[in-house]
Amino acid sequence: MKFNSGSEKLLLYFVLSLIAATLAIWSISFFLTKTICILLFSVFVLIVLITFIFLFNRRIIKPLLGLKDAIIKLGEGRYDIELPVTTHDEIGALTESFNTMARQIKEKTTELQLERFGRMRSVIDGEEMERQRLSRELHDGIGQLLIAIKLRMESLLYQDGKEIKNSIQELKKYFDQIIDEVRRISNNLMPSVLEAFGPAIAFRNLFADTEELSGLKIHFEAKGDFDNLDKKIKTYIYRLTQEALSNIVKHSQAREVWVNLKLKNDLLTLVIRDDGKGFNPETAGKEGGNGIHNMRERASLLKGQITILSAPGKGATITVNVPIIFTDDRNQNFPRG
């Protein structure tokens, strides 16, 4: 018979000790009185019992108390704990399991911290890039127009009646350009057309502006009724599309882009495909840019899935599937374009 556990071995030692004591007392019982035999037997049993308790405490109770203290420290966030495995019984297996669990918790915690750091960095980088973009637009657009207005108004002091009238007409044009520029900047920050007319119209406006600025040819197709989509879904899908187009313009060297937006059976699907130079999706997000990371993050926040298929020289296809959430205001009738 084979005994594997520490408790079984201790129990065996205890039984064997009692048998040995019984045999020893029996062997000398012929030379001692009955009272002395009983006394000797009791003393021997007491010694064996104390030894058994000591060994039981050392082999089982003490390691369990150590495990309890280690679990408390683990719950306090001290993940560097590793208990020594001194036995090969159940206690040793339990200790080894605890060490494995502690290592896994430490690894997962480190991964979560790195992911949280990455998200915070993306948010901060995104905010900084948006500030820089706004600064350039305000300086190059509105700033230049205001300077032109200032110079034109100063020149009015030295003009006669007819020239003043012509200058006022020019000033009116400048003010119209400023109004258009403010509307454009505001629309880039949060397009009002997205809320008023829905994603399809907002996308067409976005693609028209992108075509004008970049020279891309964008083919767009929309299927489904997008009026009652949740506001967060509309905004995030719009931002995700903006991010994808920005990456295409900056990096892909594409000439044409195909965008398909479809709502069917409570699933919103966005597919963006280009004929650019392509890239490796596994390494693209690790080479310094946050574009792909931001798109994955937006899809994750919508409880959606994003798939990016690409290879060098073969363009890229981005597919986003989002389970839709309808708002309570289903009966609202927004203007249609």
Residue 170: domain span: 130-185
pLDDT in tens, 145-201: 888 888 878 887 777 777 887 888 888 888 888 887 777 776 666 667 777 788 888
CA distance 58 to 99: 20
Q: Which of 231, 222, 233, 229 is nearest to 303 (CA)?
A: 233
Q: Judge whether 273 lies within some domain.
A: yes
Confidence check: pLDDT of 330 > 50: no
CA distance 322 to 254: 26
- Alpha helix positions (H), the chain: 6-28, 34-56, 62-75, 90-137, 144-155, 161-189, 192-197, 199-214, 231-247, 281-284, 291-301
Q: Is there a contact between 22 and 40 (Cβ–Cβ < 8 Å)?
A: no
Q: Judge whether 117 lies within some domain.
A: no
Residue-level pLDDT at 235: 85
More confident residue, 116 or 242: 242
Q: Do 216 and 295 belong together in one domain?
A: yes
Q: What is the number of domains present in the chain?
A: 3
Residue-level pLDDT at 269: 95
Q: Do 172 and 294 belong together in one domain?
A: no
pLDDT in tens, 211-236: 988 889 999 999 988 878 888 888 88
pTM above 0.75, yes or no: no
DSSP letter at 314 equals S
Q: Do 257 and 308 belong together in one domain?
A: yes
Element of type H or E holding 278: none
More confident residue, 240 or 158: 240
Q: Which of 253, 184, 242, 177 is nearest to 210 (CA)?
A: 242
Confidence check: pLDDT of 66 > 50: yes
**Mean pLDDT of the chain, nearest integer:** 76
Residue-level pLDDT at 274: 95
Q: Judge whether 69 lies within some domain.
A: yes
Q: Judge whether 328 lies within some domain.
A: no
Q: Judge whether 86 lies within some domain.
A: no
Q: Which two tokens stand for residue 117?
A: 């750091």
CA distance 194 to 231: 9
- Average pLDDT score over residue span 295-300: 84
Q: Judge whether 113 lies within some domain.
A: no
- Average pLDDT score over residue span 71-96: 78
CA distance 233 to 165: 50
Q: Do 137 and 50 belong together in one domain?
A: no
Residue-level pLDDT at 316: 93
Last residue within a domain, chosen from 161, 185, 209: 185
- Average pLDDT score over residue span 286-290: 54
More confident residue, 321 or 164: 321
